[in-house]
Amino acid sequence: MKKQKITRILAVLLALSMLVGLTACAGGETSEPSAGGETSASEVSVAENDGPLTPYEEPITITWAVQASPVQQFIDGDTYDDNVWSRLIKEKLNIDLEVAFSADTTTDAYKQKMNVMLASGEFPDVVRWSDRTFFKQAQEAGFIQPIGPSFDAYATDAVKAYETNYAEAFEGATIDGVLYAFPYMNDNFHQAYNLWIRDDWLENTGTEPPKTVEEMIELARIFTEEDPDGNGVDDTYGFALSGTVTQNNYATLTGLANAFGVPGFDSTGTFFRKDDGELTFAWIQPEMKEVLSILRDMYEKGYINPEFTADDVSTMEEDVTNGTIGMAYGPCWGTWHPYNYSYQADGVITRPYPIPEAEGYTPKIGIESAKTGDLFMIGAGCEHPEAIVKILNLYEQVAISSDDPNDFQTYWANEQYRFCPAYIGIPTELFAPVIHEALEAGTSEGLSGTALEYYNYVVGFEDGSLADDTNAYGTWGQMNLTDQGGSMKIDLDYKANGWTVTNVMENERPEIWLQNSSVLGDMVNTTFVDIIVGNQPVEYFDTFVENWLNAGGQETLDALDEMYPAE
């Protein structure tokens, strides 16, 4: 019975690539161009001796922009120029990859590169970026070209299946009916926040994970005052907070705000409709006064590092590695980053818990529309746009649907997938339902490809055979079903409870928002920090709301109300 259930789920989740059509990735397959609606882009025909995975007779070069990241792993001397993917793509497709530039995505470096590129019009062949304003401006300026015609002509059936199963994601990559980019596959339930707590500090202090906000505050006190690391030194902080307090990352106040019914998400927030249909903005909700009052009190009592305003991602990583913080709100991927650092350094497990609830409130958790997310764009100067589709086909065949576990380990694990200039971004989280079913059944029967590898990671971490594997720790933290479960069980429970709130604003955005969003976001963070550290009283929040509305917030709300009318 369990096996049948797993099989049914796999059939439904075609986007997980467990399709009969996945076996159709042979080099000789061709796909007919779409005969659907009229577009401004011309269709592409496939030569008789060409196909979705046919190598070029003469080598061609594809240039790409590298999103550098501190999580990237370089194995056996590999570099962004020479790695498992550059060698495979050369071997299978006769395509030489050339790095146009690399820039760090954990700072403003990559964003600055994007701005320079937009100003100059000098685009590499492949660019990955999520900013929809950038996307629209690049298309209007003629700096990128449609991928749709090449996708219709060259994509394998397995790759085309994503367009069906993630229709909203593809809609978000479409301008005036033409596909101008290849999108990440999105179902954003997993953008929800969890409370991450060190196992050893709970054990050392004889405490339990908090279920209420009051219990969370008390645990922060204990972690600060009662020497949870047992070294006899007053060097710990119970609650972590970063200088960008609303960032979409760890050490944010967002999870606490969610408990009070504020569906915040990043500094640009969430636009949502209240029960009476009124359109509003998350960070101007009156409940934020209570949230900020709590954090101000925790700061005054020393539960939060007094220098938190200077903390960014890199300094927070140091705090995790050095074992000076015990608890933080953060996204679902904590065991991948940053808590992999403390696990690698000291074998300490930090695991997720549901956000503690506030009495009298129903949690609301903000998530982005599935029409938003990263895009792979093709520069207007790219002479072989079909080459990017061929690379996607190769990625699907090797990194997703291959039954050879060595392929997964070689081309996906240890962040190796990031070396592919264009790949099918299926968040680990979207495999959760089938993996949970298999874990409950106690068998991997019916699983294959990527889902099977994730299952093996969880089982291997729990039985100890993969205890030293950081991929296993990362996957286990998301997918396990022990006790309260990993972050995916928690986030799926949020969704089942009806707590998630999707941002009303999709890809179409008011001009006033495009002009003022960064200013309004900075206003949110500056005000919240000022109140927390005592530079402004909690009552100043009311002035902030007035200022936010007058600085373009109200105009944005009015414009969004017309763009996305209540249903």
Beta partners for 41?
none
Give the torsion through C-alpha atoms of 505, 506, 507, 512, to 10 deg: 0
pLDDT band (50, 70, 90) for residue 41? low
Interatomic CA distance for residues 116 and 123, integer angstroms = 10
Q: Which range (14-18, 228-232, 472-476) has the least confidence? A: 14-18
Q: How confident is the model at residue 522 (pLDDT cuts 50, 70, 90)?
A: very high
For 98-131, how does the pLDDT look when each residue is reduced to its tens digit (9 = 90+)?
Answer: 999 999 987 889 999 999 999 999 999 999 998 8
Q: DSSP label at 1?
A: -
The better pLDDT of the pair 370, 546 is held by 546
The whole-angstrom separation of Cα 34 and Cα 516 is: 40
User: What pLDDT does residue 42 have?
Assistant: 60
Q: 516: part of which helix (H) or strand (E)?
A: helix 511-533
The two tokens of residue 491 are: 């986030």
Query: Is a pLDDT exceeding 70 seen at residue 315?
Result: yes
Could you tell me which residues are beta bridge partners of residue 103? 67
Per the CB < 8 A criterion, the answer to whether 317 and 341 are in contact is yes
Contact predicate 464/458, CB 8 Å = no
Sign of the C-alpha dihedral computed for residues 534, 538, 541 and 542 taken in this order: negative
Q: Bin 556: left if φ > 0, else alpha if -120 < ψ < 50, else beta.
A: alpha
The whole-number pLDDT of residue 367 equals 94
pLDDT tens sequence across 261-294 = 999 988 888 999 999 999 999 999 999 999 999 9
Half-sphere exposure of 80 (CA within 13 A, CB side): 17
Angle, vertex CA 154, rays to CA 449 and CA 49, nearest 5? 110
Give the start-end residues of each E strand in 326-460.
327-330, 350-353, 365-367, 375-379
CB 228 within 8 A of CB 326: yes
Buried b (16+ CB within 10 A) or exposed e, 516-535: bbeebbebbbebbbbbbbee
Residue 130, SS3? coil
Output the CA–CA distances (angstroms, integers) from residue 73 to 39, 128, 170, in the order listed: 42, 19, 30
Residue 549 is classified by DSSP as I
Please give the helix or strand (H or E) that residue 112 lies within, else none. helix 109-120
Bridge partners of 65? 101
Beta bridge mates, 195: 329, 353
Q: Average per-residue pLDDT in the chain?
A: 90
The answer to whether residue 6 scores a pLDDT higher than 60 is no
Q: What is the pLDDT of residues 399-448, one digit of tens each?
A: 998 888 899 889 998 899 999 999 999 887 888 999 999 999 999 998 88
